[in-house]
Amino acid sequence: MPIDPLLLRARALWEDLARVPVSFPPPGGVHVVVSQESGLCPAGWLGVVALGESAIVTVPTESAAVIVRGALAGLSVEGVVDGTSIRTVLPVARALGPAVLSYVSPEGFRPVASGALSAEQLPTGHPDLRRLERAVGEGDAGEAALNEITSPAFVVREHGQVVAAAGYRAWPSRTAHIGVLTAPAARGRGLARVTGSATVAHALAAGLLPQWRARPPASRRVAAALGFEELGFQLSVEIV
């Protein structure tokens, strides 16, 4: 059965980010490789990405690879990216995620219809973006990482103030990693869809693969509304 082209592109990205030769195995499989420069996780951590029905895992040393291969042998692909399950087989100090990885094709994209709200375009380093980040707090601002975007920022203003913004950072394999941020008082009114839609349209026009990485259900709902497909998960683990 042919593999979905969207899944193939997503897998190619994470195989590239592993920074050592690795490929996603057949369904149900997990490949563990040693990569000291892995882009799947923070330095020195274990990085897991499951896409489709298989997963790749990077570890920093050969000795860790032996331990991890043995520990993960008893887990399903779903269990390998589940923070609770992985704690039953490995001594986990800290974990980031799991985060859902979603992607959209030009054919699947559902842009927000033009209406009363439209997104204004700002340069990447505009001070109004920094004001929004300060307003939402370090946690949400860090998750959106608008300070790292390489695209223009697409924003919505209310009373002259930026209350929602989105943009993307250029990743390897011609991928656009999207970040979206909305002021707490302005949430629940569709502003993330407006700014996200403008960002996705810009990425697709450049021939890029839009990637939406999310943990909160609200963010996942925005992605789904724009036509993104949830193809897998990412989990980073620090082992004691």
Task: Give the tokens for residue 153.
Answer: 């920022």
Q: What is the pLDDT of residue 1?
A: 52
Question: What would the 3-class secondary structure string for 136-170 be?
Answer: HCHHHHHHHCHHHCCCCEEEEEECCEEEEEEEEEE
Going residue by residue through the chain (240 aa), what tens digit of pLDDT does each one get? 567 999 999 999 999 999 999 999 999 999 999 999 999 999 999 999 999 999 999 999 999 999 999 999 989 999 999 999 999 999 999 999 999 999 999 999 999 986 767 899 999 889 999 999 998 988 888 888 999 999 999 999 998 999 999 999 999 999 999 999 999 999 988 999 999 999 999 999 999 999 999 988 999 999 999 999 999 999 999 998
- Please report, in angstroms and rounded to a whole number, the separation of the first and last CA atoms in the chain: 41
The answer to whether the bond into 98 is cis (omega within 30° of 0) is yes
* Nearest partner of 43 among 33, 57, 58, 31, judged by Cα: 58
Q: Report the 10 Å Cβ neighbour count for 185.
A: 10
Fold for 120-231, please state it.
Aminopeptidase (3.40.630)
Element (H, E) at 184: none
Q: What is the pLDDT of residue 97?
A: 92
Q: Residue ranges per domain, the chain?
A: 5-98+233-239, 120-231
Q: Report the 10 Å Cβ neighbour count for 217.
A: 9
Model's pTM, two decimal places? 0.93
Q: What is the pLDDT of residue 240?
A: 87
